[in-house]
Amino acid sequence: MAALTVTFIETDGTERAIDNVDAGPSLMEVARNSGIAGIMGDCGGACSCATCHVYIDESWLERVGAPDDIEYMMLDMVADVQRDNSRLSCQIRMREELDGLRLTVAPLPGY
């Protein structure tokens, strides 16, 4: 199985490169398994909590793709910190074409 890398930038600016990531799990699962600060994933990946909100590095946006309608509605829950490159990390599965992906953990609303 491919050993992929994804880099999370935590809200305090700490860069955490996670190596040996398998294709298949969601980025929320990768983050939680790696102890990335700020990714809680309270709903377990059911797209109903928005506690896995991330900003995708601009250069990766096209490969990652846009949110679907349900995810877009859920992003409304974090509208005060939502950006054009917002995604819910539970809705993105790690795959080979995302090897090297960089994303930033979004702050919780109100912070």
- Interface positions with ligand FES (CB under 6 A): 28, 41-43, 45, 47-52, 74, 88, 90
Task: Tell me the closest approach of the beta carbon of residue 30 to ligand FES, in angstroms.
Answer: 12
Task: Tell me the closest approach of the beta carbon of residue 12 to ligand FES, in angstroms.
Answer: 21
Q: How far apart are CA 12 and CA 20, in angstroms?
A: 24
Task: Tell me the closest approach of the beta carbon of residue 5 to ligand FES, in angstroms.
Answer: 22
Phi, psi for 87 (deg, rounded to 5): -145, 160
Category of 98 on φ-ψ map: left (φ > 0), alpha (ψ -120 to 50) or beta: alpha
Name which of 9 and 47 has its Cβ closer to ligand FES.
Answer: 47
Name which of 38 and 45 has its Cβ closer to ligand FES.
Answer: 45
